[in-house]
């Protein structure tokens, strides 16, 4: 991810210092950059442009090399102890007016800012993977982040050609919060025998998505998915309860594509799909599966986000489309289906399934008011 962000920034004629823990890690990072540039060359970037980008990326192993940086972006693993160490080192090494951004996808920016002596200059800049391709960056201020820092981060994101969306601090921010509800529901549907792995993924792709939720979970790693699900469950409660099937698969080390077995099985050399994991439940042909079932939790969560004023109402759909390549955002889709239809289906599932389908109060109010869109 750090390599991809470095390329994304260097493409805009900005010098980047790529800091790693040691020479071996740096070499790996530069190899990743070489691969990324080769991929861009195949898509039409000239060799001169590729070479210019590479020259703007300076590999370093010392924090002292960052002393003149205007912006430092932390892209270390989602481990709070590691982040505390790295953010403290950045704070001690960079000039006083340097903005410190974290690419965290879930941690509190206020907490991360407390690891420094410049909490007013600490902000979340959550890029989406791969950063040199995806159009979204979530800009997340902490409680003490200054307005000047927020403006600078949004301007920087826009100068990179991104949709830079201000998102108020909450667990998993905007896009991953809504994504988590959708992917969890896909696993619950599989677990309960509503549909097979392939039926779920095909239905999602036919309706709104470029990739099915279970294939996506394999790509990102089931262990990563479970960790995020448990974090969201801790923060939000029962509606984010991790599916038992996901817990069991992680216990069996069926972690997805990286170990060649998850919801699908994979070829060791090409990492391409071979078929569906034979250990998984099969669907009951007596049960009817509607792809909308996957998106109702996302729609409901979008109304909770609206209710909590997590971001500007008109930015929810653009952020989901830019961050996940959805063909329609959840609110746009809900408006087409009809808010009342969505609410009726959510209420029916709340009665039959329970807490993860408790209707958002704001969705009810929209229906009672006869509103047909969020505008």
Do 9 and 156 share a domain, yes or no? yes
Do residues 159 and 11 lie in contact, with contact meaning Cβ atoms separated by under 8 Å? no
Taking CB atoms within 8 Å and a gap of at least 24, the contacts of 282-291 are 282/193, 282/196, 283/193, 283/194, 283/195, 283/196, 283/199, 284/193, 284/194, 287/193, 287/194, 287/195, 289/189, 289/194, 289/195, 289/199, 289/200, 289/203, 291/203, 291/204, 291/206, 291/207
Do 28 and 87 share a domain, yes or no? yes
Tokens 């696993």 belong to which residue? 187
**Is residue 287 over pLDDT 90?**
no
Per-residue pLDDT tens digits for 147-175: 999 999 999 999 999 999 999 999 999 99
Per-residue pLDDT tens digits for 173-189: 999 999 999 999 999 99
Question: Is there a cis peptide before residue 130, judged by omega within 30 degrees of 0?
Answer: yes
Residue 375 is assigned to a structural domain of this protein: no
Per-residue pLDDT tens digits for 208-251: 999 999 999 999 999 999 999 999 999 999 999 999 999 999 99
Do 12 and 134 share a domain, yes or no? yes
Do 133 and 189 share a domain, yes or no? no
Do 206 and 322 share a domain, yes or no? no
CATH code for the domain of 223 = 1.10.1040.10
**Is residue 285 over pLDDT 80?**
no
Choose one of 251, 276, 301: the last residue of a domain.
Answer: 276
Residue 373 is assigned to a structural domain of this protein: no
Do 321 and 179 share a domain, yes or no? no
Residue 283 is assigned to a structural domain of this protein: no
Tokens 């790509």 belong to which residue? 219
How far apart are the C-alpha atoms of 183 and 298, rounded to whole Å?
Answer: 9
Please report the pLDDT score of residue 375 as a whole number.
83
Residue 286 is assigned to a structural domain of this protein: no
Per-residue pLDDT tens digits for 339-362: 999 999 999 999 999 999 999 999
Do 194 and 247 share a domain, yes or no? yes
- Please give the average per-residue pLDDT across 278-284, as a whole number: 87
Do residues 93 and 67 lie in contact, with contact meaning Cβ atoms separated by under 8 Å? yes
Per-residue pLDDT tens digits for 17-32: 999 999 999 999 999 9
Crossing angle of the two packed helices 244-251 and 222-236, in degrees rounded to 10: 140
CATH code for the domain of 353 = 1.10.1040.50
Choose one of 230, 246, 276: the last residue of a domain.
Answer: 276
How far apart are the C-alpha atoms of 37 and 335, rounded to whole Å?
Answer: 41
Please report the pLDDT score of residue 159 as a whole number.
97
Residue 182 is assigned to a structural domain of this protein: yes
Task: Please state, for a pLDDT cut of 70, what percent of the chain lies above it.
Answer: 100
pLDDT band at 288 (very low <50, low <70, confident <90, very high): confident
Do 213 and 309 share a domain, yes or no? no
Please report the pLDDT score of residue 131 as a whole number.
94
pLDDT band at 110 (very low <50, low <70, confident <90, very high): very high
Integer angstrom CA distances of residue 81 from 32, 90, 194: 26, 14, 41
Tokens 């540039």 belong to which residue? 37
Average per-residue pLDDT in the chain? 96
**Is residue 106 over pLDDT 90?**
no
Choose one of 276, 305, 323: the last residue of a domain.
Answer: 276
Residue 53 is assigned to a structural domain of this protein: yes
Please report the pLDDT score of residue 283 as a whole number.
80
How far apart are the C-alpha atoms of 185 and 42, rounded to whole Å?
Answer: 37
Which domain range does residue 329 map to? 292-368
**Is residue 284 over pLDDT 80?**
no
Do 122 and 203 share a domain, yes or no? no
Per-residue pLDDT tens digits for 33-88: 999 999 999 999 999 999 999 999 999 999 999 999 999 999 998 899 999 999 99
Residue 6 is assigned to a structural domain of this protein: yes
Do residues 26 and 18 lie in contact, with contact meaning Cβ atoms separated by under 8 Å? yes
Q: Total structural domains in the chain? A: 3
Do 256 and 320 share a domain, yes or no? no
- DSSP letter (8 states) at residue 16: E
Do residues 262 and 224 lie in contact, with contact meaning Cβ atoms separated by under 8 Å? no
**Which residues contact residue 112 at a Cβ distance below 8 angstroms, ignoring those fewer than 6 apart?**
83, 87, 102, 104, 122, 124, 142
At residue 302's C-alpha, the angle toward residues 297 and 307, to 5°, is: 125
Residue 282 is assigned to a structural domain of this protein: no
CATH code for the domain of 68 = 3.40.50.720
Do 302 and 325 share a domain, yes or no? yes
Do 124 and 6 share a domain, yes or no? yes
Please report the pLDDT score of residue 373 as a whole number.
95
């Amino acid at each position: 991810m750090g390599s991809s962000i470095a390329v994304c920034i260097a493409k805009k004629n900005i010098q980047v210092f790529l800091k790693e823990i040691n020479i071996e890690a740096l070499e790996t990072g530069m190899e990743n950059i070489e691969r990324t540039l080769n991929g861009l060359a195949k898509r039409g970037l000239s060799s001169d442009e590729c070479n210019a980008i590479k020259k703007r990326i300076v590999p370093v192993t010392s924090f002292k090399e960052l002393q003149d940086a205007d912006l430092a972006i932390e892209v270390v693993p989602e481990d709070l102890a590691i982040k505390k160490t790295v953010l403290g080192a950045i704070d001690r090494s960079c000039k006083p007016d340097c903005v410190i951004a974290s690419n965290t996808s879930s941690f509190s920016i206020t907490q991360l800012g407390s690891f420094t002596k410049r909490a007013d200059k600490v902000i979340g800049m959550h890029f989406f993977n791969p950063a040199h391709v995806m159009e979204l960056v979530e800009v997340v201020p902490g409680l003490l982040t200054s307005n000047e820092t927020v403006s600078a981060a949004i301007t920087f994101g826009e100068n990179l050609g991104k949709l830079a969306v201000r998102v108020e601090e909450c667990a998993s921010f905007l896009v991953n919060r809504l994504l988590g509800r959708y992917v969890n529901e896909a696993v619950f549907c599989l677990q309960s025998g509503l549909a097979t792995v392939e039926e779920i993924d095909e239905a999602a792709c036919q309706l709104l998505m470029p990739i099915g939720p279970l294939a996506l979970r394999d790509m990102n790693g089931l262990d990563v998915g479970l960790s995020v699900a448990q974090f969201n469950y801790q923060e939000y409660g029962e509606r984010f309860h991790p599916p038992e099937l996901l817990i069991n698969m992680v216990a069996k080390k069926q972690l997805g594509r990286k170990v060649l077995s998850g919801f699908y099985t994979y070829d060791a050399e090409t990492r391409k799909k071979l078929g569906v994991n034979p250990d998984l439940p099969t669907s009951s042909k007596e049960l009817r599966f509607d792809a909308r079932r996957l998106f109702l939790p996302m729609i409901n969560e979008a109304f909770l986000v609206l209710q909590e004023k997590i971001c500007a109402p008109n930015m929810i759909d653009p952020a989901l489309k830019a961050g996940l390549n959805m063909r329609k955002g959840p609110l746009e889709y809900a408006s087409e289906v009809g808010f009342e239809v969505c609410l009726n289906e959510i209420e029916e599932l709340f009665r039959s399934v329970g807490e993860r389908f408790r209707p958002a109060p704001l969705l009810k109010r929209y229906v009672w008011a006869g509103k047909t869109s969020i505008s």
